[in-house]
Amino acid sequence: MATDNPILQDASMLPRFDAIRPDDVRPGVTQLVQEVAGMLEKLEADAQPSWRGIVEPIERMHDRLGFGWGVVEHLLSVKNSEALREAYEKVEPEVVKLSMRIGQSPAIYRALTELRDSAAAKDLDASQRRILEKLIQAADLSGVGLEGEKRERFRAVKLELAGLSTRFGNQLLDSTKAFALELTEPAEVAGLPNSALEMAAHAAKMAGTPGTESANAESGPWRINLDGPSFMGFMKHSTRRDLREKLYRAYVSRASHGEHDNRPLIASILRLRLEEANLLGFDTYAQLSLSRKMAGSIAAAEKLLEELRVASFEAAHNDLEELRTYMREQGASDEADDIQQWDVAFWSERLREARFDYSEEELRPYFPMPRVLDGLFDLAKRLFGIDVVAADGQASLWHEDVRFFHVRSMDGEHIASFYMDPFSRPSEKRGGAWMNEVVGRSALFPQASGRARLPVAYLVCNGSPPVDGKPSLMTFREIETVFHEFGHTLQHMLTQVDYGLAAGIRNVEWDAVELPSQFMENWCYHHDTLVGLSEHVDTQAKLPDAFFEKIVAGRTFRAASLMLRQLNFGVLDLELHHRFDVNGSESPEDVQRRVAETTTVLPPIPGDQFLCGFSHIFQGGYAAGYYSYKWAEVLSADAFAAFEEAGLDAPASIEATGHRFRDTVLSLGGSAPPMDIFKQFRGREPSTEALLRHSGLVAA
């Protein structure tokens, strides 16, 4: 359909980000919804129980709606504004209603089930049969079997949940950017390394407050925000315990008061999710969620969480006692006796520096982002036989910091592309890091050559921005994050599945989708990889082996504490969605504190409203699924163990194993059950041994 509205462009072209304005959203999405509704009506009238008669038209509808609406959702995440937010909230209900109409269509469901039960089903290949099964399951969970008042109530619940989720994210973003420490005295920034001072002065200048025009690292003023790089830099390095406390209290109370209060939204979301589950015949929302995941049952998920909790709980307590001992040795006995949450990051960093004889700041100059990306792409070439090449200028962008890349096979064939938005922008971009799709691979939308449409991805991080003409100098954690998100991007881009409904990350069970991402993080501890992606910003020297050995030695430093933190989130998530009585006297905050008794070594402080910022489960897709990070980490650690067994210093063996990983985990996407794919790669089912070994917890 020809149109001047960039929201309505064809998915065969890259989005025209330079042309999209908030004013385009309402008319564009309204017309898009009308167009897809027309496709739905035609399909309902003509649906036939065959692959071409029902499955392909479903893919066409989802692709048309998903591309246009996906661009709008993406911009809301990376270029949030009042105008865009208002436009989004006006049209979101219409998109949700249309999605529910498709999911609840009796004519579509009838054609799908008739195809499943017909003689023609035997002619479908295994991938097609899995897609068919998943489409039927999705319809069942969309309430296709509901009638009358129950159907109408289900639709109302889903519509309200979508709006609440959007409000949750917007209020969290507003609350996060509303707070800042405005510091003017050198004593207030004591302990901060120069990189943090430069970033804080730059933030002050960008805020535009009178008197900040000439802000600089040496004399200030300095602005500390609640976005990741600023917050963590201050918590790790500031010697001002009072200011660390102030910043920490602000962080854990985000979106919990005033006009940005998410607490009423949490109560409503939990209540509505339970009602949704009950309408579909489940006792709890967790049962509904697990019905479509690899784990399959709450018991299986909780069994894994408990196994890891037992392995890490006592060790995490030992971590805390070790920290207290070190604090006393440094003359901070009073703080050690009254250790608080805002002390842990600071003293842990001091202990790590003392034990391994290096500071995080000593590492950063070795890791300018351009060199890190070159090293990451070199690794992808060694493992998977691909070339990643810059394609800046070949796509319109939503911000000047965004990069665009092509992925090519070793014979030069273009096989995928991706955008990379690497830096924090707290005024308009939500926190965290993620990968999402622009378009997926599909033979249903062929190129002019007749080959399947190529996948295109978004890779988004919130790393330390470049300051004063220098490149971004990355922390080790930021390197791990880029590797993680690139793993997701690889699974989207390297798929060989031509069915769009199962290509890349589509149709992959949620608790298996973190396998490629967490797998990639392991390479940050591989000598040739890490040294290879280093280059000192001033001297061009490679990372000395002595530093590498210290990084590896420090891998298990406080690993039990870090694992227990993730287990706390996973257990809390399941508890809220499985056992919490939404009509009882216990509040979500009470559940948080109860769960903390067995999953933390320092209980939440009074006023801790962590749930108000728990966007993974109240805004993102991890509701009753946060355990997925640990579930998939078992898979990813075991997958990396295959490379260890092949010999990390044997290039030919690494290449062969890498190609096998590409041909299974990265290529097959959602075309087969994830356990079957894992066993194709590994030759057996996964074991927790590798994860516990990498975490230094085998003895436990």
Q: Model confidence over 537-548: pLDDT tens digits?
A: 999 999 999 999
* 699 has a pLDDT exceeding 60: no
- What pLDDT score does 3 carry? 67
Domain covering 364-502+509-556 assigned CATH 1.10.1370.40 in the classification:
yes
- The whole-number average pLDDT for the span 628-649 is 96
434 token code pair: 């993620």
Angle made by CA atoms 189, 192, 195, in degrees to the nearest 5: 120
- What pLDDT score does 32 carry? 98
Contacts of 593 (CB under 8 A, 6+ apart): 603, 604
Smallest CA-to-CA distance from 452 within 490, 489, 502 is with 502
CA distance 75 to 77: 5
**With 0-12 CB in 10 A as exposed, 13-18 as middle and 19+ as buried, what is 100?**
buried
State which amino acid sits at residue 682.
R
The model's pTM is 0.93
* 204 has a pLDDT exceeding 60: yes
Smallest CA-to-CA distance from 515 within 291, 324, 318, 669 is with 669
- What pLDDT score does 587 carry? 97
What pLDDT digit, counting tens, does each position of 205-224 carry? 988 878 888 899 999 999 99
Tell me the β-bridge partners of 473. Answer: 368
Helix/strand/coil for 427:
coil
What pLDDT digit, counting tens, does each position of 160-182 carry? 999 999 999 999 999 999 999 99
Whole-number average pLDDT of the chain: 96
The domains of the chain are located at 6-145, 179-253, 364-502+509-556
* 244 has a pLDDT exceeding 60: yes
Share of the chain above pLDDT 90, in %: 95
- What pLDDT score does 211 carry? 83
407 sits in which H/E element: strand 403-409
Handedness of CA 661, 662, 668, 670 (dihedral sign): positive
Strand runs labelled E in 410-484? 414-423, 434-439, 456-463
- What pLDDT score does 700 carry? 45
Options 198, 485, 535, 589, the catalytic residue: 485
Contacts of 146 (CB under 8 A, 6+ apart): 104, 154, 279, 280
Alpha-carbon Rg for the chain in angstroms: 25
CB count in 10 Å sphere of residue 488: 25
Q: Within 579-614, where are the H helices?
A: 588-599
State which amino acid sits at residue 278.
N
CA distance 202 to 502: 44
Q: Within 280-394, where are the H helices?
A: 285-290, 298-329, 333-337, 341-356, 360-363, 369-384
282 token code pair: 């489940």
> Please, which pLDDT band fits residue 2 given cuts at 50, 70 and 90?
very low
- The whole-number average pLDDT for the span 409-418 is 97
* 346 has a pLDDT exceeding 60: yes
CA distance 381 to 448: 28
- The whole-number average pLDDT for the span 266-286 is 98
- What pLDDT score does 1 carry? 44
- What pLDDT score does 387 carry? 98
What pLDDT digit, counting tens, does each position of 557-588 carry? 999 999 999 999 999 999 999 999 999 999 99
Burial code of 274-296, b = ≥16 C-beta within 10 A, e = fewer?
A: bbbbebbebebbbbbbbebbbbe
Question: Tokens 């163990």 label which residue?
Answer: 641
* 438 has a pLDDT exceeding 90: yes
Task: Tell the CATH superfamily of the 6-145 domain.
Answer: Endopeptidase. Chain P; domain 1 (1.20.1050.40)
**Residues present in the chain in total:** 700
Residue 276 known to be catalytic: no
- The whole-number average pLDDT for the span 219-243 is 96
CA distance 153 to 447: 43
